[in-house]
Amino acid sequence: MKQYLLLLFLLPFVAACDKDEVRNNNPYLPSYNFSIDINMDLPLYTPLQFTANPVVITQAGIGINGIIVMNTGSGYVAYEDSCPNQELSSCSRLTVDGINAVCPCDNTPYNLFTGDGGLKYRLRVYRVEVLGPKVIRVYN
């Protein structure tokens, strides 16, 4: 009987967990579905073969303002190329400065290894799947 009570007690906590909750809770950034396969043999994407060389992809239909992809040395990360703490506007596209992405609206730098900028919202993270030695997929 105690086992059933314990199960009933823990069930709401388990059901409340959602891996996408952290990803999609930013009121400034709408969520658009997309997928892009990145072949690092192509000249535009060869910097991704090396650690700490972010690449900005502004292809139409990929993210809101595009995406920023970087090799962290232990894997790949992909972020939305929009300021996470600002309404979408003409100044909300991030600019890459080394291993930081800077929001031109308020000059806040966001670390591309962690996505943190010290404000309420971090950079929006997208999923990255390694398809082969030189091919990755970024999707939402």
At 24-62, the pLDDT tens digits run 589 999 999 999 999 999 999 999 999 999 999 999 999
Q: Are strands 95-97 and 76-80 parallel, antiparallel or unpaired?
A: unpaired
- Residue 140: CB atoms within 10 A of its CB come to 19
Rounded CA separation 45/135 (Å): 10
Alpha-carbon dihedral angle through residues 131, 40, 36, 138, given to the nearest 10 degrees: 60
- Answer whether 0.85 is exceeded by the pTM: no
Percent of the chain with pLDDT over 70: 83
Domains and CATH numbers, the chain: 28-139 (2.102.10.10)
